[in-house]
Structure 1
Amino acid sequence: MTHDSVRIGLVSVSDRASSGAYEDQGLPALKAWFGEVLANPAEFVTRLIPDEQALIEAALVELADLERCSLILTTGGTGPAPRDVTPDATLAVAHKVLPGFGEAMRAVSLKYVPTAILSRQVGVTRGASLIVNLPGQPKAIKETLDGVFAAVPYCIDLIGGPYLETRPGTVAVFRPKSALRASA
Structure 2
Amino acid sequence: MIKVAVLTMSDKGFKGQREDESGKLIIQMLKKIDAVVESYKILPDEFELIRDELLNLCENKYDLIITTGGTGLSPRDVTPEATLAVVEKRIHGMEIAMINESLKYTPLGMLSRAVVGIRDQTLIINLPGSPKAVSENLEAILPVIPHALEKIKGSMSDCAEQREKLVRDHEN
Q: Report whether the alignment pairs 1:124 with 2:117.
A: yes
The aligned counterpart of 1:150 is 143
TM-score (norm 2): 0.87
Q: CA deviation at 1:139?
A: 1.7
Which aligned runs of 4 or more in structure 1 are off by greater than 6 angstroms? none
What is the aligned-residue RMSD (CA, Å)? Answer: 1.9
What does residue range 100-111 of structure 1 map to in structure 2 within 5 Å?
Answer: 100-111=93-104
Q: Report whether the alignment pairs 1:177 with 2:169.
A: no
The aligned counterpart of 1:6 is 2
Cα displacement string for residues 26-51 of structure 1 (whole angstroms, at most 9, x for unaligned residues)? 2211111123x12x252431111000
The aligned counterpart of 1:79 is 72
The aligned counterpart of 2:170 is none
- Contact persistence 2:9–2:79 (CA under 8 A): yes
- Contact persistence 1:26–1:136 (CA under 8 A): yes
Whose helix fraction is larger, Structure 1's or Structure 2's?
A: 2
1:93 partner SS:
coil
Q: Unaligned regions of 5+ residues in structure 2, if any?
A: 165-172
- Contact persistence 2:27–2:37 (CA under 8 A): no
Aligned length: 161
Cα displacement string for residues 66-92 of structure 1 (whole angstroms, at most 9, x for unaligned residues)? 2x1101100000011110000000000
- Distance between the aligned counterparts of 1:144 and 1:44, measured in 2? 22
The aligned counterpart of 1:65 is 59
Quick one: structure 1 residues 161 and 6, their matched pair in 2 at CA, closer, same or farther if it must change by over 3 Å? farther
AA matched with 1:63: L
Q: Report whether the alignment pairs 1:34 with 2:27.
A: no
1:74 partner SS:
strand
- Distance between the aligned counterparts of 2:111 and 2:43, measured in 1? 22
Q: Which moved more, 1:150-159 or 1:54-63?
A: 150-159
TM-score (norm 1): 0.81
- Contact persistence 2:6–2:37 (CA under 8 A): no
Quick one: structure 1 residues 31 and 178, their matched pair in 2 at CA, closer, same or farther if it must change by over 3 Å? closer
Q: Report whether the alignment pairs 1:160 with 2:153.
A: yes
- Contact persistence 1:7–1:42 (CA under 8 A): yes
- Distance between the aligned counterparts of 1:47 and 1:143, measured in 2? 22
Q: Report whether the alignment pairs 1:56 with 2:40.
A: no
Q: Unaligned regions of 5+ residues in structure 1, if any?
A: 163-174
The aligned counterpart of 1:171 is none
Cα displacement string for residues 136-155 of structure 1 (whole angstroms, at most 9, x for unaligned residues)? 11121111111112221111
Q: CA deviation at 1:23?
A: 1.4
Cα displacement string for residues 75-112 of structure 1 (whole angstroms, at most 9, x for unaligned residues)? 00001111000000000001111111221111110001
2:85 partner SS:
helix
